[in-house]
Structure 1
Amino acid sequence: MAWKTLDDAALAGKTVLARVDINVPMEDGRVTDATRIEKIRPTVDDIIARGGRVVLLAHFDRPKGKVVPEMSLGHISGAVASVLGRNVVFASDCIGAAAEEAIAKAGPNDVVLLENTRFHAGEEKNDPALAAEMAKLGDVYVNDAFSAAHRAHASTEGLARLLPALAGRLMEAELRALDAALGNPVRPVVAVVGGAKVSTKLDLLGNLVSKVDHLVIGGGMANTFLVAQGIEVGKSLAERDMAPTALEILEKAKASGCQIHLPSDVVVAREFKAGAANETVAATACPADAMILDAGPQTVQALTKVFEASKTLIWNGPLGAFEIVPFNAATNAAAQAAARLTREGKLVSVAGGGDTVAALNQAGAASDFTFISTAGGAFLEWMEGKELPGVKALLG
């Protein structure tokens, strides 16, 4: 990829506008998970070490173009200062005199935090006038918010067109990982796609069957594919009206030389609750009064062999109802197998999506994956083969 990084520009004496994602969860006025703030520290530290002045642009929640006091970034400025270990100068606007004064006031090792970009209606409309006002504040633009890269907003796309644009360290890591997974992967490549509904991941499945060597389908989605092949799934979640589409995906995979893997055995129960009485049966033998809630041990064994024969793994979505015990067993076991192969240097493993991150953390496997994306929507759109405006803008 031809995007530039912090290594490609002289930053000494420059004011650097860094678009970051610090849209952190809060409860009772307190940040409950500072991970997103922690993730931007390498970029902040690097800019300052290179003699640049850091000015953070970010959104917080969804104020829809209006000033909503409870959605002010001022509420998290203390947490930002604490996590970054630096004095934070907060500005009550992201453009104009308030922003200019905060930047002028900040010392060389301070961080300037501008107010919520989404307080301006022009942010989500990618208004050129708003982007131009932002551009007046700095000399260089750095995008370190891959999670917002699928949005063509003033601070993610418009601004990148007006100043020399670089990828921050988090963005750089994300792009390198994604390029290694689908852009220029070491083959064979296996993708695991789980989740409830085929209808929400049509673009994803359609793109992957032409890009990967093996496609593992899990969760409720797998039930729809079983139904499409004439297999009864009892009371399981399945989109029966999507059966023709599932067959089309199977045909497309066959034509592309992509092998699709569905469960060979499944764990079924009569109740959807933790600890429900359950049994393992062949995928073709789900009782009429039961529902499939997880893949079975034979399926996990087969998947492990696919992982062992592969060089690159992309993972999005669980294999079963991982939120409740014991229907997290397949996801946990498969994730642990992938983690082991990654530790052994035999597999490059990239995963992303909200449920995915939660499932891999629950399995104790996340820390061993090559890269875990917390980007959510941007990660999915990348997997779908869609162009991300915030990334394209970095390419000039």
Structure 2
Amino acid sequence: MPAFRTLDDADLDGRRVLCRVDLNVPVSDGVVTDATRIERVAPTLREILNKGAALIVLAHFDRPKGKVVPAMSLRPVAAALEQHLGHKVRFAETDWQQAPKLDVKPGDCVLMENTRFHPGEEKNDGGFSKLLASLGDIYVNDAFSAAHRAHSSTEGVAHLLPSYAGRAMEAELKALQQALETPKRPVIAIVGGAKVSTKLDLLGNLVKKVDALVIGGAMANTFLLAQGHAVGKSLAERDLVDTARRILHQAEDAKCAVILPIDGIVAKEFKAGAASHDYGVDAIPTDGIILDVGPLSADRIRAAIDDAHTLVWNGPLGAFETAPFDAATVAAAQHAAARTRAGKLVSVAGGGDTVAALNHAGVAHDFTYVSTAGGAFLEWLEGKPLPGVKALEVAK
């Protein structure tokens, strides 16, 4: 990964600092109901203030598509940000054209209105990028979760001001580098979820990067079909069977071991507490639905984790939201967490369902790094450049 500047390289005293963060948090009746993203960026904002800067916070909320939508204002987030920051936060009432007239002194913290209220934001419009740049002396990006978007506040302004990675961005980039770019081998990837079609680029990139690839979730059913197994009424993309075969061939050429289920937990209906049985993949009933990998498959996955020094995880192994189809995901997550705690494994996970699954298993805090970035994390796994990260790179 190319070098990038961090807050350690910045002289912030007396400077006006634009800091792009992700405050796209759930709000109900004007109250933030999950402050995880605020908690992640608070250390960066606090450090900027403690170093004597005037802080101007940039963020988006929802998708107003370049129009002012009062229900998508960041105003309700200001109070939560103030609480977690432990510092007075002023919410900017002014519209974007009046923003350059804002009076922000060292020690002040101002939260600007939703950047996506401006029609130029998502277009990465040069005029809006220049307007943003006029607000500050230094730009700090602490929003990895928005780094896959080439918007004015995530990419455009970074080319107009001295630019640095915030602490959350720095931690994310270092974790990703440790996971796939300079990992301790062997490296294992666990990829689950419902559809192969949403993860074609991901699988194609991973088979070239990792030593072993575990495929679980409903997407595994498409690969089982490619191997000639019947999957009953299970969710599968039958039109992608040839694609699945191609991925298996690519993995073989790259000397990447693919670990597919050898048994599955099968029910006749998908509901909590439904009667279910373990079947080998060569004996799935015609009226059965595979809802989790079976115990023999779970044993193989645990053994593969034991052989690895680095783990990258995206997607659950089964329908973990509904018991008893969470068993394999919970077992694998707890085993990976135990090895991480023992110092035997570097474990990096990301994606909405993955974070939820690790929380369900009670081990999210035991992994080396858990990314809440969603789309940006997935695009990084796919090997795609992230505009918001690339803009921070130090020219050689």
Q: TM-score range by the shorter chain?
A: over 0.9
For 1:55-99, what per-residue CA distance to the aligned partner results, in whole angstroms no more than 9, with x for missing partners?
100001111000111111112211111111110111124744345
Q: Is the 8 A contact 1:90 1:102 kept in 2?
A: no
Q: Deviations over 1:341-377 (max 9, x none)?
A: 0000000000000000000000011110000000000
What SS does structure 1 have at the residue aligned with 2:121?
helix
Determine if contact 2:96/2:118 at 8 Å carries over to the other structure.
no
SS in structure 2 of the partner of residue 40 of structure 1: helix
The partner residue of 2:352 within 351, 354, 363 is 354
- 2:253 paired residue number: 255
Contact 1:253 1:259 in 2 (8 A): yes
- Residues 100 and 131 of structure 2 are in contact (CA less than 8 Å); yes or no, is this contact kept in structure 1? no
Shift of 1:102: 4.5
Q: SS of the counterpart of 1:260? A: strand
Cα distance between partner residues in 2 of 1:231 and 1:93: 62
Matches of 2:47 and 2:100, distance apart in 1: 22
Counterparts in 2 of 1:135-154, with a 5 A limit? 135-154=133-152
Match of 2:27 in 1: 26
Q: Conserved in 2, the CA contact under 8 Å of 1:146 and 1:375?
A: yes
Letter in 2 for 1:36: R
**Aligned partner of residue 312 in structure 2, secondary structure:** strand
Counterpart mapping for 1:170-209 below 5 A: 170-209=168-207
Partner amino acid, structure 2, of 1:19:
R
Task: State yes or no: 1:62 paired with 2:63.
Answer: yes
Alpha-carbon distance between aligned partners in 2 of 1:101 and 1:311, rounded to the nearest angstrom:
51
Q: Distance in 2 between matches of 1:386 and 1:155?
A: 20
Q: Is 2:264–2:280's contact at 8 Å kept on the other side of the alignment? A: yes
Give 1:109 deviation, angstroms.
Answer: 3.2
Maintained 8 Å contact 1:91/1:112: yes
Instruction: For residue 55 of structure 2, give the secondary structure of its aligned residue in structure 1.
Output: strand
Whether the 8 Å contact between 2:100 and 2:134 is mirrored in structure 1 is no
Match of 2:80 in 1: 79
Partner Cα separation in structure 1 for residue 382 and residue 91 of structure 2: 38
Match of 1:329 in 2: 327
1:172-321 alignment, distance < 5 Å: 172-321=170-319
Cα separation, 2, equivalents of 1:295 and 1:109 = 54
Matched residues in 1 for 2:229 and 2:330: separation?
26
Q: What does 1:7-46 correspond to in 2, within 5 Å?
A: 7-46=8-47
Distance across 2 between alignment mates of 1:384 and 1:324: 29
The answer to whether the 8 Å contact 2:99/2:135 transfers is no
Letter in 2 for 1:374: T
Q: Matched residues in 2 for 1:11 and 1:264: separation?
A: 57
Q: Which residue of 1 aligns with 2:92?
A: 91
One-letter amino acid of the counterpart of residue 298, structure 1: L
Query: SS at 1:126's partner residue?
Result: coil
Go from structure 1 to structure 2 and tell me whether the alpha carbon gap of 1:93 and 1:180 turns closer, same or farther (over 3 Å shift): farther
CA contact (8 A) 1:89 1:102 kept: no
Q: Gaps spanning 5+ residues in structure 1: where?
A: none
**Deviation (angstroms), 1:24:** 0.6
Contact 1:86 1:109 in 2 (8 A): no
CA distance in 2, matches of 1:272, 1:83: 41
Q: 1:55 to 1:94 in 2, by over 3 A?
A: farther
Deviations 1:186-213 (A, max 9, x none): 1100000000010110000000000000
**DSSP-derived class of the 1:45 partner:** helix
Q: Name the amino acid aligned to 2:386.
A: L
> Which residue number corresponds to residue 122 of structure 1?
120
Q: Write the distance in 2 (CA, Å) between the matches of 1:26 and 1:155.
A: 22
2:347 corresponds to which letter in structure 1? S
Distance 1:12 1:290 in 2: 65
1:170 is paired with a residue whose SS is helix
TM-score of the pair, normalised by structure 2: 0.98
SS of the residue aligned with 1:121? coil
Q: Within 2, Cα distance between the matches of 1:28 and 1:320?
A: 34
Residue range with higher mean Cα deviation, 198-207 or 70-79:
70-79
Distance 1:153 1:122 in 2: 8
CA distance in structure 2 between the partners assigned to 1:139 and 1:5 by the alignment: 15
Mapped partners of 1:99, 1:25: distance in 2: 29
SS in 2 for 1:334: helix
Against the structure 1 CA distance between its residues 93 and 208, is the aligned structure 2 distance closer, same or farther, given a 3 Å change threshold? farther
Structure 1 residues 322 and 102 mapped into 2: Cα distance closer, same or farther (>3 Å)?
farther
C-alpha distance in 1, partners of 2:148/2:29? 30
Aligned partners of 1:264 and 1:298 also within 8 Å:
yes
TM-score by length of 1: 0.98
Residue 281 (structure 1) shift: 1.1
Counterpart CA distance in 2 for 1:378 and 1:98 is 29
AA of the residue aligned to 1:51:
G
Q: Distance in 1 between matches of 2:336 and 2:177?
A: 19
Counterpart amino acid of 1:152? A
CA RMSD of aligned residues (A): 1.0
Q: CA contact under 8 A between 2:165 and 2:392: conserved in structure 1?
A: yes
Is residue 2:101 matched to residue 1:103?
Answer: no
Could you tell me how far apart the structure 1 residues matched to 2:146 and 2:103 are?
Answer: 25
Return the offset for 1:265. Answer: 1.3
